[in-house]
Structure 1
Amino acid sequence: MLRAIVSRAATTLVASALLVIVVWFVFSALTGATLIVLRTGSMSPTMPQGAVAVSVPLPAEKIRVGDVVTVQRQENALPVTHRVVEVRPVPDTVGERGARELVLKGDDNDSVDHLPYLVTDARRTVASVPMVGAVIMLLQSPLGMGVLTLTTATLTAWALWPRRPEPTSVAEPTGGALPSQSRSGSEHPRAARRA
């Protein structure tokens, strides 16, 4: 009984996870969406540290004040995800056609970022989910990968382990006689011949 309940729960969990993954890949392929894990708390409380943000590509000319965007930093390999507080046009002679200069600020920061960002496109955040990014970061760590591997191996072995045959019940014969007794009343047919 317990095995059946756990088996159904595990099957439902795996099927649900696969459905979410398939839906995400279709959505991502159609829109160019990506997941961004927020590693700092600069966007708290709107998007706290460890949140995951869903972002879609957006040309610079469509970026508006109030949008939360992810742009590449000039001096750092890691991108920054902050709120747009000012959008400045850039003459075509200075930057690429359609480029904009963005002034960004984290919701939890006291001041704007020290330099504006010159962009031709960015990634606008359309949704965020708290704590999912922390789970993703944990699963990507060596400890998380080890736990995930052991859990998967254990569940697979448990699901495929040979089951013990269930005991079959022996039906009682009618008339109260045991199967080893004959109709003549002797305990065993050979015992009746000896007598």
Structure 2
Amino acid sequence: MTRGGLSELLWWGAAIVMVVSVGVGCWACCAKEYRYVPILSGSMGPHTPKGALVVTEPLRAQDMKPGDVVAFMPPEPWTPGDGLPMVHRIAAVTRDLGGAVHMTTKGDANDIPDPWQIDLTDGAGTYARVVYQVPYLGGWIVMVRSVGLVAGIGIVTGVVMPWNAVKRTPRVRRRRSAGTVARGTASGS
């Protein structure tokens, strides 16, 4: 196999692996209800640094325990304007005299717990446990989301297409005949 043929084979192999990976990721997201949450602040550092992307799975309110890192929507007036859930660690789960169950959360890098308590008594609300994290990917997701999907695809295409064109451009080589002398060399000194 020629060098160019091997290069093209590797290119297509990488493209197929990428398409399959995206497909499996989409399937996992839909079938298992996994969700992806970008980390926009440093409140969970160093465990989960700013710019990371966390993968979460659904978690029932009655299964929450101190130490779990969870994604949730804080109550008003602390609800984020961007609509993204907050990711913090459960500091405590308490039960008051009336039987109500409350969750207190805290960012790992914060000195004090969050100013809210979330009522878990009726099991209402959507909660998810962090099961995996990918460093740096969250920042890229936020950038593409803010610029827009079309612009993100355009940027990727704008980088990949010229690179591909350069890689596929045939190189013209000149052959020197045996009787010619390269310029700049001294002969017969």
Taking structure 2 as the reference length, the TM-score comes to: 0.69
**Considering only CA atoms, is the larger Rg found in Structure 1 or Structure 2?**
1
C-alpha displacement at 1:30, in angstroms?
2.5
Superposed, 1:146-185 pairs within 5 Å as 146-154=154-162
Q: Distance in 2 between matches of 1:162 and 1:48?
A: 42
Q: 1:150 to 1:33 in 2, by over 3 A?
A: same
The residue number in structure 1 matching 2:93 is 87
Pair 91,155 (structure 1): closer, same or farther in 2 beyond 3 Å = farther
- Cα distance in 1 between the residues matched to 2:96 and 2:18: 45
Give aligned pairs, total.
Answer: 158
CA offset at residue 89 of structure 1? 3.8
Aligned residue type for 1:19: V
Q: CA deviation at 1:54?
A: 0.6
Q: After the TM superposition, which of the residue ranges 11-20 and 32-41 deviates more from structure 2?
A: 11-20
Question: What SS does the corresponding residue of 1:128 show, helix, strand or coil?
Answer: strand
Describe the superposition over 1:55-100 as per-residue Cα deviations: whole angstroms up to 9, x where unpaired. Answer: 0111100111110011112222342110001112478997xxxxx4
Q: Does residue 9 of the first structure (1) align with residue 10 of the second (2)?
A: yes
How do residues 45-124 of structure 1 correspond to structure 2 at under 5 angstroms? 45-74=46-75, 75=77, 76-77=79-80, 78-89=84-95, 100-119=101-120, 120=124, 121-124=126-129
Matched AA of 1:85: A
Runs of 4 or more, structure 1, over 3 Å off, are 1-6, 89-94, 138-144, 152-159, 161-164
CA contact (8 A) 2:55 2:130 kept: yes
Q: Distance in 2 between matches of 1:141 and 1:14?
A: 26
Which has the larger displacement, 118-127 or 61-70? 118-127
Question: Does the aligned pair in 1 maintain the 2:37–2:85 contact within 8 Å?
Answer: no
5+ residue gaps, structure 2, are 172-189
State how far apart, in whole Å, the 1-side matches of 2:146 and 2:5 are.
33
Note if 1:127 corresponds to 2:132. yes
Partner Cα distance (1:129, 1:32) in 2: 18
> Structure 1: 5+ residue runs without aligned partners?
95-99, 165-195
Question: Are the equivalent residues in 2 in contact too, given 1:44–1:108 (CA < 8 A)?
Answer: yes
Root-mean-square deviation (CA, aligned residues, Å) is 3.1
Contact 1:139–1:148 (8 Å) recurs in 2? no
Deviation for aligned residue 1:46: 0.8
Structure 1's 162 and 131: CA in aligned 2 closer, same or farther, altered over 3 A?
closer
Using CA pairs below 8 Å that are at least 6 residues apart, which structure has the higher relative contact order?
2
Structure 2: distance between partners of 1:101 and 1:111? 17
TM-score (norm 1): 0.67
Structure 2: which amino acid aligns with 1:151? Answer: V
Q: Deviations over 1:114-139 (max 9, x none)?
A: 11122434111111121121232344
Taking the aligned partners of 1:136 and 1:14, their CA distance within structure 2 comes to 20
- Provide the C-alpha distance between the structure 2 equivalents of 1:136 and 1:92, rounded to a whole number of angstroms: 43
